[in-house]
Every structure is written in structure tokens, then in C-alpha cells.
Structure 1
Amino acid sequence: MFGRLHSWGRRHPAVVDLLWLTPFLLISFANLELLRSGDAHLIGRDLGPWGFLALAVALVAPMFWMRRHPLAVFTAVSLVSFAQWLAEVQPQFFNLSVLIAMYGVASHCTPRWAVGALLTSELGIFLSLIQSPGDPDGRSFASSSVFVVAIWITGIYTSTRRRYLEGLEERAERAERERDQQARLATAAERARIARELHDVVAHNVSVMIVQADGAGYALGGGNPDTAREAMRTISATGRRALAEMRRMVGVLRADDTAEEYTPQPGLSQLDDLVTRVRSSGLPVDLRVTGIRQALPEGEELTVYRIVQEALTNTLKHGGPGTRATVEMEYGVRELLLRVTDDGRGAAAPRSPDGHGLVGMRERAAVFGGSVDACPRPGGGFQVTARLPVGEPAAG
């Protein structure tokens, strides 16, 4: 409730200022009616109703701008009050605007101006008391000073509190920006890795196409061999140009990988080996494949392999002792459903602040128009679900 009111007040500062000024206006008009009826009077010069109203407006109206210009408002109401003292006019209820303006200076301005506002307010209290009946033991000044200092300390506390909250908000925003930046860096690194791997896969297929096209150009005979040979030459030249262009565009990604061994990328045929290695690491894993196996591009097979690898690696790191994992692959007519589940600690498992494995999974799946969902299971454990499109069923 308080949080909603605070948020509403921050969105409508002018309305809030007008609301808390309303009691000053009402009491001032009430005193004005008493003055007109003769039930109240002003010590010193008789200002009359209009003079009283002008004084009230001069002290209350500037408070509307206190939030935006606290120092100027305090200066204005202090000068009006000093002029009121020179005119020997008794302090009224609306003279409290000086203390409220002092609070505004203490809560919005620098400590130097805050101390200046406090001393000015104390001087005003002293001047108002020496104009009133005598105070031989100084008790009235002491009690009034305690009241003024209490208001001033409240303003200082408000200023300190606001700066503290602003610092927290700034740190939270900076942490959020850094987190987003780390996520973007992780995404860029994962995309670079995907690009390198796709480069290897596609380059291999294009290279095979070139070799086969060259062989077909020499082997074809009969019919119209010249035309067939020319077509094969065109396929060969096109393949070479595509390979050269792809190497030129992606080659920059390999600038720092000159020492990397370009071993063949894993696919679905290596899933059994992956499961065996994970079992030897101490995590029991069951692999289940259902449905009619569909033909997948090599890059998509690599994506499936990497998702399973990352999910099982996370289970090893976060699942805890006694955890079991299950890898399920279900071939449908249009999509491959991949589900990796475990019965480990799930939501209770500690998360690494710099881990971006799930980001990499989603980026890999998105390359082929798929998706990845990862979340704790209601009964405990964790589940990673990936959906990837598939092509036509493999022949034979």
C-alpha cells in the first residue's frame, strides 16, 4: 500500500504539493474569518483582512515550488517573515512555512546550505521571542530550538536516505547493464562458435560436391556429353566460388584459432559415446529414441549433440549426489522433440553467475528455427526441452 502511494506521489509531484499545502490554506482562511468577526486580532499594526490575506499568500504560495527550488523558497519566506517582524506583526500559523522550507533545504541541498537554513531559522525563533512577552530563563527559546532542530535532522535523514536509495538504484541498473552485456558477449561468442562449426560442415559438403562434379564431368558420356560436361563444370565453378566466399566471410572468426585441430564435428551417431562418457563420470544416464528416424542436416545433428552435452554437463555440476538423468528423443512428422531430465536438486541447485550454457542452447536451436525451454521440475530435478524441425524420412 505504502509502495503504491509512494510511486503515485513520484508520478504526480504537483498534486502532492497541493495536497499538503491545503491545511495551511484552510487554517489561514479560518483565521481570516475570525479576524473579520472581531474574535481575533494581530499584535502590532492592524493589517486588516486584506493585509492578513496578503501575508498568508506570501508565506504559503511559494511552498508550491519548494520541491523544485528549495533554496529560493526558503529565502523568500524568510524575507517575508523578517518583514513581518519589522512590522511588529504577531507570528501566525502559516509562519511554519519557514520551518517547512528549512526542511526542504536540508533534504535537497548541500550540507552547507542546510546548516545556513538551520541558523537562519534559529535566528527567526530568537527574534520572534524577543518581540513577545519576556522569557527570563530562556525555556521558550530552548524548547522551540529543539523543535526546529528535530525538523532539520528529519530533513538531513531524508536527504541521506534518498541518496542511499539512489545509490542502490544506480548500482542495480549498473549490475543489470553489466549482466546484459555479459549475456550479449556470451551470445556473440556462441554465435561465432556456431559459425565456425557450420563452416566446417558446409565446407565439407561443398568440397564433396566439387569432387563429384569434377568426376561426373569426365565420366559422363553418350547423349550430349558436351552439354553435360559444361553443366558439371558450372557446378564445380559455382561450388568453388561459394566455398571461397564463405571462407572469406567466416575466416575472420578463425583468426585466433590457428592452433585448433579441425576434427570432424560430432552428430547423432556419437550420442551413445557421449552417454557412455557421462556414465563413466558417475552420472547414470538412460538414452531413449522413439519414432521413425528422420534425416537431419549435419549442422542440426551437431546442435542436438551440443544441447544434450550441455544439459548433461549441467546435471553433473548441479544435480548433486545420487542424481539420475534421462535423454529422450522423439521423432515426429515435422519436428524432433528432445528432452533431457534429471531428478537432482532442481531449483535448489546453485547457479553459476557467469554460466551462459542455456543462452548457447537457445542460439543453436534458433539457427534452425527451433526452440529450447529449461526449467526446474515441479517434483524436483531439472528439465531441458528442445524442439527442432526435421526433414523427410531417411531412405531405407
Structure 2
Amino acid sequence: MCDVYEDEGVANDPHPLTRHLQQLTERARAFDRRRPLAWDVLLTGFFVVAAGIDYMGDGWRNIAANTDLPDWLILVLTLGMSVPLLWRRSRPMTVLAVMVGFGAVNSATGALLQVALVQLIVLFNIALRLPLRTLGWAGLLTTAPVVVGSIRFPRGSWDQQVVPQVWAYAIVALLGIAVRSRQDYTRALVERAHQLEVERDQQARLSAAAERTRIAREMHDIIGHNLSVITGLADGGKYAAAKSPERAAQALDAIGSTSRQALAELRRLLDVLREEAPEAAELAPQPALTDLDRLIDGVRAAGLPVRGTFHGHADSMPQGQQLTVYRVVQEALTNTMKHAGAGVTATVDVAYAEDGVTVSVTDTGRAGPRGAPSTDAGAGAGAGRGLTGMRERTALYAGTLEAGPRPHPEQGWQVRLHLPRTSAPLASKEPAQ
């Protein structure tokens, strides 16, 4: 297997000569892109000088059909078929028409100057940049001098004079089309790469925004709940200090324990955000359904009477769903402690069934400050961050959440959650943490 891969690597490696030619071609293209006028002047100057040498050295007489032509006519034809090459980019069809006109005179007089082949460069430029319909007209135009020469000075059969020239024009045109197709393909690849880069950056921004939302939700659940518990314990300890110092000491112990727990959870969350050695961050299991009893005990110790009832068994419910249930119960009890007022009791009811889990958290406090009732998981724009986080977690597992005042004549607030039994969160959502 290794030999095969090595052979493939050698086969795919370009030859040094090929690589050198590619580098030279790229340099020429780069120079052309930077200074197109300078390149055109150099190209035109080269052919003007070459044609001038042919004119001054009388080399043209070696293949001319008529060697008795005046020098001024040869000079005019030489310049007329070479100088227009300077404008081959801006006005290619005009340049070709001028060259073909001088070429027709060149064939008709029998001069047969080789500089007439320069029009192939213009034909290549037309095939490279202009529509194919224009290329067809240009091909017909270039055959005019050939036809004139074959009629004026026939040499053998007409096809021996016309067909080779037509084939030369066709090959140049096909070469221009091939280069054009290659350039279009390269531009398409570059554009596609640019689009992929933009999409990658957008995806990175969306992922970062989703991660910030997840972190904000986790920090809200951790800090908000524990601070509410600490506040309740501190208020209770303040009133108990005068009458029962022992109860005050118990409240202080509970405050210390809750603070350390909150600090530990917050430290674990922040360790994940550190850039250096993220794999070294402490890994601890997220809260699960088995931690609900401890959660209820902590809220009860903070001064809120809570009664918890459980029906059925979790039966290996996925960790993400367990975390969702835990956070919803936590947030519901936190809202009760913050908004329900004094003398309030709460009830947590968790029921496991074959179709999923249903959770109900009710209290007997006032309902007004906590927002309007809603059964839509995407609603609640005017609600607080806590209700929004509960709805986001619920929607992650295609569940339903109802949060609002209890029906008349009952008093208080109710949060009802139902999560269907599933093994994974929705693919369109971020994974639960």
C-alpha cells in the first residue's frame, strides 16, 4: 500500500521542466496583468522589428509571387499588418479588419509578406475574449486574403492553397477557446472557494453566537439559582440571628456550601472557555434527574417549602434530556423564590411514562410579575431570560412548555414541561450542555 501511494505521489509530481515553464507562464501573466500597455508595446514592437528586418533585407522576395513591387508599397504593407497589433485588446475586430484589408492587398499584389500571419494573434485574442458568434465572423473575414491570393496567383489546385490556411485559423481559434474555457473554469473555482470561505466564516460566527447563547444560559441557570438560594438563606439567617443563633449558624453553613458549589460549577464552565489546554479542563457530569432531590433540599433549606413527588422511573433517559428537566425545575423554583412573595409553597411533580417525561412545578404565590402565560415554545419575547432559556431547552428535544398563572380560582404560577422519549436532540439545534 505504501509503495502504491509513493508511486502515485511521484506520478502526480510535475516534471522540473514543466514546473519551470509554469512559473515562466505565471510570471508573464502577472506582468501582463500589472502593465498591459507595456506588454502590448513589447509584443507589437517585436513583430514590427521582425517585419522590418524582412523588408530591409529583401527576404520577402524569396517567397513573393511578384518581386517587382516598389519598396514603398512593401513598407506600407509591413507597417499596416504589424502596427495595428497594438490595439488588439481594445478594438480587436477593427484591428482584424484593417489587417485583413492590407492582407488582401498583400495577396493581390503577390508580395505574400509573412507578417500577414500576425493576424492569427488577433484571431486568438477574439476567441479568448469575444462571443463565439463574433469569432465566426472573424474566421470568415480572415479567409478573404487567402481566397484573393489563390485566385490571383494560383499554385496547383485551390484546396492546396486555401485548406491549409483555413486549418491554421481553425486551430488558433480552438486554442483560444480552450484557453478561455480553462480561464473560466479557474475563475469558477476561485469564486467557489471564495463562497466557501464566506460560508465558513458565517458558520463560524453562527457557531460562536450559539455557543455564547449556550454559555449565557448555563451561567444564568447556575448563578441565578444559587444566588437566589443564598439570598433566601441570608434573609432567613438575618431574622433567626436574634432569636435562634443556632439556626443562623446553620444558614451561614448552607450559604457557604451553596457558594462553594456555585463557584465550582462556574469554574468548570469558565475552564472550557480558556484557550490554553482546553482538554485539561476539569470534566464533571452535568446535573441529572438523580440530583433533583438535592436541588429540592437546597431550595427548601433556603426557606421555600417544596414538596416533590416522582412517578415511574427514568429508564436510561438521555443525559441531555435529564439536564433539560433539571434546568427547567431549577429555573422554575428560582423564579418562585424571586417573584412569588412571602408565605409561598411549591410542588414539583415528575412523571415518567412510555411516551416521555412530564414535569409540573407549581406554587401558590403571585403570578403577575413573571409575565403572561404562553404555550408556544418560540414565544415569550417579553419574558425574562429564564423563561427564554427554558423554552430553548424544551425546543431542543421537540418538547412542549407551558408557563403561566394557574387557572382560576387557584392562585399562583405553573410551569409544565413534556419531553417525548428520544435519543438525540434535533439536528437543526445546538447540542445540549
TM-score, normalised on structure 1?
0.50
Query: Which has the higher Rg, Structure 1 or Structure 2?
Result: 2
